[in-house]
Amino acid sequence: MRLLVLLWGCLLLPGYEALEGPEEISRFEGDTVSLQCTYREELRDHRKYWCRKGGILFSRCSGTIYAEEEGQETMKGRVSIRDSRQELSLIVTLWNLTLQDAGEYWCGVEKRGPDESLLISLFVFPGSSRPPMQLDSTSAEDASPALSSGSSKPRVSIPMVRILAPVLVLLSLLSAAGLIAFCSHLLLWRKEAQQATETQRNEKVCLSHLNHRTSELDPDEAFEISSLTFLSV
């Protein structure tokens, strides 16, 4: 019995961790998934491939895609594969996933004897079950003041402010010009009123002074002076 275990172990050891990569991948319908299968140095020049696991009693590959020369990308339908030998990795990309893409796949490397392979399970969920996108704490804090201020007071967009700015400046200049004209007219009116008041005051002083002088003269002279004053007025 121990001998059988040792023989089975010897068969398994050559391919142990020959390929490394994700064991399970979960995505939603319509997504694009990219994965890497890394291999050991001794497998650098061997041919790599990607295929879907099929079969019921015996496993087999279906829809196999082989990687071309170093760095060249191979496309087949919605699947692309590229062998990066410098990085010792096989890069596989599946575009626009559908529910039918869910299943088990192999990253494989051809060699003498059994191929080296890594089994990867792909789970595809309906796009309708995708959770809604949520803002992180930072963006939520930044958005909350804007929402609170917007609920209490309407905000004017920046383009509208840029449009209204020249109009507001023009209205301000017109208001200032009108105020200056009004103040100038008011000062002129006050000056004219002061001059008229001063003229009336001088006339009253002259009349009072003249009346005082005529009271000191003879009646005939006073009558002549009054006549002259009346004619001058």
133 in any annotated domain? no
pTM of this structure:
0.52
Q: Please check whether residues 113 and 181 belong to one and the same domain.
A: no
Q: Please check whether residues 87 and 174 belong to one and the same domain.
A: no
122 in any annotated domain? yes
Average pLDDT estimate for 135-140:
52
Q: Please check whether residues 118 and 204 belong to one and the same domain.
A: no
42 in any annotated domain? yes
Domain that holds residue 165: 160-217
pLDDT of residue 142: 52
pLDDT of residue 211: 64
223 in any annotated domain? no
11 in any annotated domain? no
Tokens 């005082």 sit on residue: 212
83 in any annotated domain? yes
Average pLDDT estimate for 227-233:
52
Q: Please check whether residues 58 and 121 belong to one and the same domain.
A: yes
Q: Please check whether residues 165 and 105 belong to one and the same domain.
A: no
Average pLDDT estimate for 83-104:
96
Give the count of domains, the chain.
2
pLDDT per residue as tens digits for the range 145-166: 444 444 444 344 445 555 667 7
Tell me the CA distances in angstroms from 120 to 12, 17, 35, 60, 102, one per residue in order: 19, 14, 10, 14, 11
Q: Please check whether residues 48 and 119 belong to one and the same domain.
A: yes
Q: Which two tokens stand for residue 103?
A: 């299943």
Average pLDDT estimate for 99-110:
96
150 in any annotated domain? no
Cβ atoms of 99 and 28 within 8 Å: the answer is: no
The amino acid sitting at 183 is C
148 in any annotated domain? no
Query: CATH number, domain at 97?
Result: 2.60.40.10
